[in-house]
Structure 1
Amino acid sequence: MKKINFRSIKSRLILAFSGLALLLIIVVGITLSQVGNVVVIGVKLLDNRQPSRMQVEAVRSELRNTNILLHSYLLNGEASYVASIDDIWEKKILPINDTINNLKEKWNSAENLILLEKMTRLEERIRKKQQEIIENASFSGTNITIDITSFPEFKADSLMDPVALQAWISDEILNQQGNSPNNGKLFLEELNPLIISFDETTQTLYDNLKDETKALGNDAFDAIDQFIIIEVIVLLLYIIICIVLFRFIIRKILKSVDIVNNEVKILSEGNIPEEKKSTDDELGIVLEEIYSLSQNLRNVKAFALEVGKGSFDNDISVFNNEGEVGSSLAEMRDSLKKVSEEAVIRNWSNKGFAELGDILRKYSNNLSMLTDHVITYIVKYLNANQGSIFIVDENEENTNLQLAATYAYDRKKFIEKNVAPGQGLVGQVYLEKESIYLKDIPQNYVTITSGLGQATPKSIFIVPLMVNQEIFGVIELASFYELKGYEREFLNRVGENIASSIQAVKINEQTKQLLDESQQMTEQMRSQEEEMRQNMEELQATQEEMERGQSENIERVRAIEKSGIAFIEFNPDGIVVNADNTFLNLFGYSSLSEVQGKHHRIFVDSEYAASDNYQAFWNDLRNGVNKEGVFERITKGGSKIFIKGAYTYVKDQNGYIRKIYKFAIDVSSIYRQQQALLAEKEALIAQVEEINNHLKTDSSADLEALRHQTLEIKEQLLKQLQQNEEKLKRSLGLEKKKLKL
């Protein structure tokens, strides 16, 4: 069995807390006894007497409400008051009675039980009497009026005393009993005594419950006072015992704490304790840890000295590189090492930027020298082995990447010095605008050649030279070593500076070229200025002549309109664009809107419009073939007319036919007369032919008579032809007059 060390802090604490726990149990027992007594009294007060008193008051208040409603019913006979009275009894008074009956189980006073029984019987009698009054009430000739505002204690914005209000209403009913003697008598003589008795009984019961509540309250206060006195005594005893136990425990603890405090003080002053201290209690473990901490602090000291010297690869372990301090110091060493490496890289990058910037400024006027020195510097600075730079060459036909400069490349690889966008890795970098870094190089892609032989590089880095998402060139590097991340980042960053310089050089060259061209153009413009002046004079003369011609054309159009010649305008597809009134009247149309936008086929019969001849007719016009003659056309009413005229075209300044004009006159009457005369002529010729045939076949005896007859017919035919000619001349003369020709 393990021996108990009573000198240890743990043992002393166990003894002390055991005594305190026993004392606490005694205190809790006494407290619970006192609290139980107070709770019993409080339960009686809060759970029974106070609710009982409130329920009795509620019964009395609700019964008064039924009487007030009964008063109102007796005044005007409104049936809704009866329903309200029943609701109060069923939903309020009877449930309150049930509650009081439950509470009376804990009443100790026989007087209160008797009063409750009496109150219950009075309630039953009052309800029965209210029902009898309602059944016996009479409302004929009722003139009783109750004005509530006449109540002496009337308050519109607050509650009024129900007892005083009921008494006042009873007095009003008594005063006006002469107007309704039956209803008032029923209420005052039969119900009012019961109400008075009920109020007295409930008041007595209410006062008794109030006295019991007050007595219970006094008992509760006495119990609380007793509880406070006992608790104070117990608390004082508890404090005294705690002080004794505290001194028993603290004496040993303070001695050990002083030893620990001295060791910690040495550490807080920045020193490391040399001697190892110990105690025979639990604080001895703390001293062991302090000693271990001292050893680690010695390691921290050595670690700081090594880091201060810049030695970040030392193997000094602090707290075994574990825990917050150990891991933090290890992280600090790694962070400082990283910062140092980043500083070296940053200095290397800044140096490269500065030296490359000098090259860009020095050769800013010569693109060839600029690219040559740039690729040479980059290959050497990055310790690469080969490099080339391509410049974007844009012309009217296409865009190519032209080899501008190389360093240590086998020229056979670039027999074709132009690379198209998308061609090979260089062309792909141009299209994608992203760098490409390769470590697995195909055997035949590129080789690095020296005097001793050739070999495939280990890495290739291709970078776009880009400014504002516009590429001006591509750099390709090959190396026996893999390029580090910061080296690739450096090349990506300087790529923008190189692109800006290439852009500036190109702009300078273009500016110079434009300046030369501008000077040449200035000389040409001076020589052309005189020629332009002469041309302007000729143009002015031509313009004046055109204005005169235009004026003459306007007069011609006016003359045509006055002449009565019909005019219509079509587009090359045969769609009506415009027409004058002469044309519209000739074809029976009242306005231009009836024909505008419609095809020419509305003026011809449907059979001709569907024929190949009609299609050929318009094809000829579109091809520049004029049409003239007499044309058969159809009017709006469907009748045929004959017009004589011509279709002609108008070309624009480019030689394309844009408009087709038609000028025509109506020759329908002349054409019809001519057709009749031709028919008559054909008939006469047929008669002559018939006579000639008879002459060939008849005998000589009849020849004389036939000759005589033939002469008469010829004279008649001649006379008829002359008459017909005269008729035709007269018709033509009339038409000319109509047309004012």
Structure 2
Amino acid sequence: MKRLNLGIKTKLNLILLCSIIPFAVVGTTFGILLFKNSDYDQYAAKIINIKLSYLRLKENEQSFLLYYPNDNVFFKTNQNEYLRKFEIESKELNQNLDELLNMPMTTNLELSDKIYMLKENADTYGDLLKLTASKIYQRGSFQTGIIGEIERSYANAVAQESLPANVLTSLKEMEVQYINRMDGTYYNDFIELYTQHLGNIPGALDDIDLTSLSHRDTTHTDSVARATTPIKTTPKTLKNADKLKPVNDMKRYFNALKNIDKEIGFNREEGLLFDIQIEKTKLESINDIIKYVDEKRANTANSMRNLYIAIVVLMLLTVAITHIRISKFITNAIAKLSGYVSQLSKGILPDKEIEIHNNDELSDMAADLNTFARGLKQTTEFATAIGAGNLDTDFKPLSESDILGNSLLEMRSNLYKSQHEDEKRQHEDELRKWANEGLTQFSEILRQSTSNIKDLSNNVLKNLIHFLGANQGGLFLYNDTDKEDIHLELVSSYAYNQERKKKKKIYLGEGLIGTCAIEKSYVYLTDLPDDYLTITSGLGASNPSSLLIMPLKVEEQIFGVMEIASFKKMERHEIDFVEKVSESIASTLSIAKINQRTAELLTQSQQQAEEMASQEEEMRQNLEELQATQEESARKEAEMQSILNAVHSSSLVIEYDLQGHITSVNESFCRALNVQREQIIGRNQDEFRDTNDSYSLQDSDFWNRIKDGEVIKRTDKYLVSGEEHWLQQVFTPILDSDGFPYKILNMATDITANKKQEIELQVQTEKMAAQEEKLRQNLDELQKTQESMAEQQAELNEINKKLKNNEDILTQAVAKSKEQEKELQAKVAELNKLHRELEIQQAEILEQNHTLQEKEKLQAKALEDADKNLERTRVKIMAEFVRNLSRQSSIMDEAEARLSQVDGIPAEILNSVRNANDEFKILISKYKVD
């Protein structure tokens, strides 16, 4: 091949140009690849936005289904905040899906059909939720919709007395239980009870699904049995069809409610809610699209990376070949000239002439040097052979008596011995110097790296590998933190491949490393299995030629194991050096391990101190809050106790169990009836009640009404020790925390004096009936008296209204009511006095007696109304008192719960709070009303 006659400057410019062009090509390729990858990033971000929109849709749908029962605005206006947000998110989701469909990447990835399907699923999802919301709006609440119509029908049925009260109550209970529990058996119970009472009415069962009554659960028929057992429906009770319309409406709306509930599918196994769940499941396919795009993006990124690497490698090879090719003509020639001139400057004559064929300035210089060297070589060849130290040069003396020749041979022999001893001594010195330098270097490394075991291990291993000229290594530490799992843990590695790094834990006795840890002596191998260890470099992978496994121990205590692999075989002095260094490493590791443990304990103690301070502050705040709660409880308890004392002092209070037996009476009751408490506790009130009344307290219907939550007012006459006592009574059920009655409270007023006056007046009325005509002339006076009493009644009504609207002045109202009661009693006494005077003068003023008799009736009526108002006031006071007690009990329960969750609270404080709370609950259980 013909060489180009190029100058040195031209060749250097060619090298520079060949270096710039590949880098420009690599940069351009890298930019194109980055731009293409950004398209995938934008597409993935758009899909993530779609998933977030779907998650927000799902959240709003679940929030609507969770909170709509308490949303009165929704049931009135069919508007809901979560539905509004759902609509907004639905539009945003559709917009994002449309944008995704218009992106070229969708077509490239063949995702159009899936995204169209997602869009259809999202639309169906929104339509189903709108339809569900519409059905729920039609279903309504207790004030609106179908449920509201049921409530209104029930109220009309009660008002018109369409059926006996207990039947209506049972029907109502079944309807409420169905709404609360969504259990179809309550609907079946309703239809069965309805059929029993209205089945003989034409058309009453037209829209009832009688097949729904089969296979019923008998556990739900108690209410039906209670309602139907004591009642026998007759044509007489059903004669008025208009009165039955509200009950028929209840049944009709109840049937509509059951049908719309089935459409909605509250059991999530059918209906709209089931369809919504299916559509949501379909929308979950967005995750598959995201996964598919991520895989495509990863594959594209890998392809781009591989292409980039291939281009870079190709460019580097091109630059390298060009550089080597051009440099060969320049650097090789300069190196030859430099070596040749250097030898000549030292007085050495080369054996060969320098040969350079570049056809440039360097080849001319080589020709001149060859001419100069040939002249020197002819004169100094023999002398330079010995002077240059070339002792292997063949030389024979001229004869045995050649003194100079033999002397030269003897000198060469002495030079041989001296050279060998010098080399041996120099080698030993170099080994000692090498070992000392290494020990000094690693002492400094170990001295500076005692704070962190990880950094120490990395630093030591890296420097040791470099110092020995090895290729690969690992450092395993003895880990006995868990006494049940003692092992060697890989904390540092150098040039390990990924497969080797995976095995971070080696147990004692496992493999060469585990055996070395047990035997506490090093292992050196030069014949390794092919699959034990592989050293990988940029040019390929190969097995090491030697392996050294050195234990890290101090006084026979093992701290770890170090593994070093090399392509070259290790010398004895290198193994000894590693053995010495390993002792220092083990000692430093023990110190670092102690320091690290000390730092961990210090950090742990600081954290515990901070936690204790935080708990102490929280406990202090809880104690302050508890103290404030206790003070407020004590204040309200004193206030309520004073109100309770006032009620007990002015009213007769009797408590019954659910069977009608007296369990407690207050002192006012014993005083009024002139009996001892022990005489009546445990007895039924009918035992000393006048049995000539039209009804008895033993009547099961009477107690059942009270157990069902009804408050009953009545007046009864009692015979105690031969004396008559009239009591005006209010029977109120007392409910527990679950809303079930557990006792009955009777607040009574002694009206014996009024009743006796009423009876006496009735007798007098019968005697003076014959003289009624003569008393007509006093009608005007009676009219005035009625107007006066009407004014008094209006005044009492005004007082009642103020009592209802101003609960803050209940105590003053009670006092005022008592004063009015005293005034009325004074008026009654005055009337009694006037009545006695009328008896004395009966013959003379019969007409006036009749007028006074009528006045007495009106005043007695006014007194009775006042007593009723007083009763209502007392009941309200008791109800407010118990409500306050219940609220206070809730505060005490919350305080007790919060204190019990705080660590470090003294047991005495917790016991004190619990005792106070128990006493509070005892007080509530005695007087609690709903």
TM-score, normalised to structure 2's length? 0.22
Computing the radius of gyration over CA atoms, which structure comes out larger, 1 or 2?
1
TM-score, normalised to structure 1's length? 0.27
